[in-house]
Amino acid sequence: MEELYTLEREVGRGSYGVVFEGHVSKTGQCVAIKRLPCRSPEGIELYLQELWAMRATAKNHPNVIALHGCLLQTGPKTLQPLKPGQLPLELVESALKGSVGGGSRTQEREHSPFSRSKTQRRTSHSDRSRPQLHDRTDTCFARSRQDRTHSYSSRPKLLDRTNTELFRPRKRPAPEEEEASGLRRCAALWLVMEYCDGGDLNQYLLSGAPDPEMNHSMVQQLGSAVAFLHGLHITHRDLKPDNVLVRLTPAGPVVKVADFGLSKMSVGQAKCDLTRQHFSSTCGSDFYMAPEVWGGLSYTSQADIFSLGVMFWAVLERITFLEEGSMQEQLGAYVCKGRWLMPLGEALSENPDLQLCIPLKARRAPLLPPPPGQAVCALLRDMLASDPDARPRAAQLEGRICSALSEGTNCHGPG
pLDDT digits (tens, 9 = 90+) for 114-130: 333 333 333 333 443 44
- Cα(242)–Cα(267) distance, rounded to whole angstroms? 27
- Cα(66)–Cα(317) distance, rounded to whole angstroms? 30
Portions of the chain given CATH number 3.30.200.20 = 5-143+183-194
Q: Are 316 and 163 in contact (CB under 8 A)?
A: no
pLDDT at 83: 78
CA–CA distances in Å: residue 38 to residues 79, 302, 310: 14, 31, 33
pLDDT at 267: 64
- Cα(22)–Cα(9) distance, rounded to whole angstroms? 7
pLDDT tens-place values along the chain, 415 residues long: 245 788 889 988 877 788 999 999 888 899 999 988 887 777 888 888 888 888 888 778 999 999 998 888 877 667 888 877 777 777 777 767 766 654 444 333 333 343 333 333 333 334 434 444 444 443 332 333 333 333 333 445 443 333 333 233 334 444 444 333 334 567 888 899 999 999 999 999 999 998 999 999 999 999 999 999 999 999 999 999 999 999 999 999 999 999 998 999 876 555 567 777 889 888 889 999 999 999 999 999 999 999 999 999 999 999 998 876 777 889 999 998 887 889 999 999 999 999 999 998 766 666 788 889 999 999 999 999 999 999 999 999 999 999 999 875 545 444 4
Q: Are 22 and 16 in contact (CB under 8 A)?
A: no
Out of 3.30.70.20, 3.40.50.2300, 3.30.200.20, 3.30.300.30, the CATH code matching 5-143+183-194 is 3.30.200.20
Specify the pTM. 0.77
Catalytic residues: 238
- Cα(362)–Cα(284) distance, rounded to whole angstroms? 28
DSSP category for residue 370: P
Q: Are 167 and 159 in contact (CB under 8 A)?
A: no
Q: Can you give the C-alpha Rg of the chain in angstroms?
A: 22
- Cα(70)–Cα(91) distance, rounded to whole angstroms? 13
pLDDT at 266: 79
Pairing state of beta strands 244-249 and 252-257? antiparallel
Handedness of CA 280, 282, 285, 291 (dihedral sign): positive
- Cα(128)–Cα(291) distance, rounded to whole angstroms? 53
Report the candidate in 6, 393, 401, 398 with the shortest Cα–Cα distance to residue 190.
6
- Cα(145)–Cα(14) distance, rounded to whole angstroms? 6
pLDDT at 97: 73
The set of residues, in sequence order, having a beta carbon less than 8 Å from that of 333 and lying 6+ positions away, is 287, 310, 313, 314, 319, 344
How many C-beta atoms surround the C-beta of residue 288 within 10 A?
Answer: 28
The size of the chain, in residues, is 415
pLDDT at 64: 96
Confirm or reject CATH 1.10.510.10 for domain 197-405, answering yes or no: yes
Note the helical H segments in 257-301: 291-294
DSSP category for residue 386: S
- Cα(44)–Cα(36) distance, rounded to whole angstroms? 8
Report the candidate in 363, 406, 81 with the shortest Cα–Cα distance to residue 219.
406
Portions of the chain given CATH number 1.10.510.10 = 197-405
DSSP category for residue 146: P
pLDDT at 99: 66
pLDDT at 323: 72
pLDDT at 201: 96
- State the DSSP H helix or E strand holding residue 11, giving kind and residue range, or none if neither: strand 5-13
Tell me the pLDDT tens digit for each residue of 352-394. Answer: 999 999 998 766 666 788 889 999 999 999 999 999 999 999 9
